[in-house]
Homo-oligomer: A and B are copies of this chain.
Amino acid sequence: MAVEENPATGADESAALQQISSESVDREGVTSGFIGEVVERLDAGDEAWLRASVSDMWAADIADLFEALDPERRDSLVATVKDVVDPETFAEVDEDLREAVLEHLEPEELATAVSALDTDDAIEIIADLDEVEREEVLARLPEADSVLIRRGLEYEEESAGRLMQRELLAIPAFWTVGDAIDFMRSSPDVPDDFYDIFIVDPRHRPLGALPLSRLLKSRRGVHVQDIMSTDLTPVPVDMDQEALANVFRRQDLVSAPVVDSRGCLIGVVTIDDIVDVIDEEHEEDVMRLGGLSGDDLYRAAFQTMKSRFPWLLINLITAVLASLVISIFDATIQEIVALAVLMPIVASMGGNAGTQTLTVVVRALSTRELSRSNAVRLIGKEVLVAAVNGAVLAVIAGIMAGIWFSDLVLGLVIAVAMIGNLISAGFFGAVIPVFLERIKVDPAIASTVLLTTVTDVFGFFAFLGLAAVVLL
């Protein structure tokens, strides 16, 4: 549940803090000026200032502050402010740092923090603890909470079950608007913030949803089943979060009911969690295209090395393939050393043109905009674009090389090789990801290395082979 105001903060203090917090963060988050000041106060041991500043900040901003500090200062800040921060901070902080942050909290403090959170945030934190700690924290929670959390932990990571909140309002179809409003006013079990009321049948299967605005605009005597939306999208509890995000996007949903295998309503996923999923997803795409297994900004140096190494090793092996092609033509190069000078131009142009195509195609696959029905058309367009751009660039490169080495035939060779290489780059830049998708390999992670290999091998072969035939 969103903590609206820190109960520990009195009204006078709060006015003073308003002052601090308007300087410490601008509209987009913590300022580097504020981070600098935090560093100074940490070094000076000014605990009172630190606790007062942090207690009034948004959870996301405190998490950013934790992330911006070096490990030593971070530890000291966490230890100083752990009991005054919004508990959501612990769910907001980057996964790679969460363990280090949570270490500072005693089981008792963790239990207090967890019990103030929605089940989805609570599960995220509990999932990061080791077995022993987990039991210690769960034992300190109210029975009802710990049961829900234990059940939540049984769902797969990255599934709807992990994202959903258990807190929801479900009412029977025969109720009137007045019944619903009276129930909400009198029952202590109604969740804090929600957008839709769900209407369920006697077996608790969802029949419809009622946006609160519609409830409020209707007269008390109206039956909820007459005004509910029946075009519900019940989400199975094991649905993958990426698919779930697509459902939200397509239907502009704000919340979606989650059902178990028998179709019974067991939770609700809300849009704020989906925004996080969308961010994660995009981050994954960007990182994979860049040859990384994931964002390692907050990972320790040794972990970062280990995760990046395999990709570099694969790249070393594929680079040797390109070298083997060159070695076929070593006699030609010894004869005409200008070939060695110009070689990287052909390879680099092919790599770049191919990457342009690849980026568009990988993106289109991940947004499901590319399917069997338009793949052939797209490949055709990419080849055409590459051919025309290749022709123009070939003229420029050909003239330049011809003048540089006073050899018009050499200019012609590089021009022809470049056209061929760009066409193959356009073709393979589109075909490789489509092919990988079809054989169920993530195109984002494997396309780049395959494409560079193909454009290098093809580029060197075309350029040096043509030169060997024409120039020798």
Which B residues touch A216, using CB under 8 A? 181, 184-185, 212, 215-216
User: CB of A372 within 8 A of chain B?
Assistant: yes
Number of copies: 2
Q: C-beta contact mask, A89-109 vs B, less than 8 Å → 1, else 0? A: 000000000000000000000
A333 touches which of B305, B308, B333, B347 (Cβ 8 Å): B333
Whole-angstrom distance from the CB of A30 to the nearest CB of chain B?
8
* Contact (Cβ within 8 A) B212 A192: no
Residue of B nearest to A348 (CB): B319
User: CB of A408 within 8 A of chain B?
Assistant: no
Which B residues touch A344, using CB under 8 A? 319, 322-323, 326, 343-344, 347, 456, 460
* Contact (Cβ within 8 A) B190 A217: yes
* A378 CA / B68 CA spacing, docked (Å): 10
Which B residues touch A297, using CB under 8 A? 360, 363-364, 369-370, 378
9 contacts between A and B (CB under 8 A): A28-B246, A29-B246, A35-B371, A190-B213, A194-B213, A254-B254, A295-B360, A301-B385, A319-B344
Given contacts A181-B216, A195-B195, A248-B275, 7 further A-B contacts (CB under 8 A): A29-B246, A68-B369, A184-B217, A282-B282, A285-B286, A309-B392, A334-B334
A residues 361-417 near B (Cβ < 8 Å) are 363-364, 368-374, 377-378, 381, 384-385, 388-389, 392-393, 396-397, 400
* Contact (Cβ within 8 A) B4 A355: no
User: CB of A124 within 8 A of chain B?
Assistant: no
Residue of B nearest to A273 (CB): B252
* Contact (Cβ within 8 A) A341 B319: no
User: Which chain A residues have a beta carbon within 8 Å of chain B's beta carbons?
Assistant: 2, 4-5, 27-29, 32, 35-36, 39, 58, 60-61, 64, 67-70, 181, 184-185, 190-195, 211-219, 229, 231, 233, 239, 243, 246-252, 254, 271-272, 274-275, 278-279, 282-283, 285-287, 289-292, 295-297, 301, 304-305, 308-309, 311-313, 315-316, 319-320, 322-323, 326-327, 330-331, 333-334, 337-345, 347-349, 352-353, 355-356, 358-360, 363-364, 368-374, 377-378, 381, 384-385, 388-389, 392-393, 396-397, 400, 452, 456, 460
* Contact (Cβ within 8 A) A32 B330: no
Say what secondary structure dominates the interface of chain A.
Answer: helix
* Contact (Cβ within 8 A) B192 A213: yes
* A327 CA / B219 CA spacing, docked (Å): 84
* A339 CA / B388 CA spacing, docked (Å): 34
* Contact (Cβ within 8 A) A326 B312: no
Which B residues touch A247, using CB under 8 A? 27-28
Which B residues touch A213, using CB under 8 A? 184, 190-195, 212
A320 touches which of B292, B339, B345 (Cβ 8 Å): B345
* Contact (Cβ within 8 A) A27 B243: yes
* Contact (Cβ within 8 A) B291 A352: yes
Whole-angstrom distance from the CB of A355 to the nearest CB of chain B?
5
* Contact (Cβ within 8 A) B316 A397: yes
* A127 CA / B452 CA spacing, docked (Å): 41
Give the residue among A29, A60, A349, A460 with the most B Cβ atoms within 10 A. Answer: A29
* Contact (Cβ within 8 A) A286 B373: no
Which B residues touch A218, using CB under 8 A? 185
* A2 CA / B252 CA spacing, docked (Å): 9
Residue of B nearest to A335 (CB): B334
* Contact (Cβ within 8 A) B289 A352: no
Give the residue among A214, A272, A290 with the most B Cβ atoms within 10 A. Answer: A290
Residue of B nearest to A281 (CB): B282
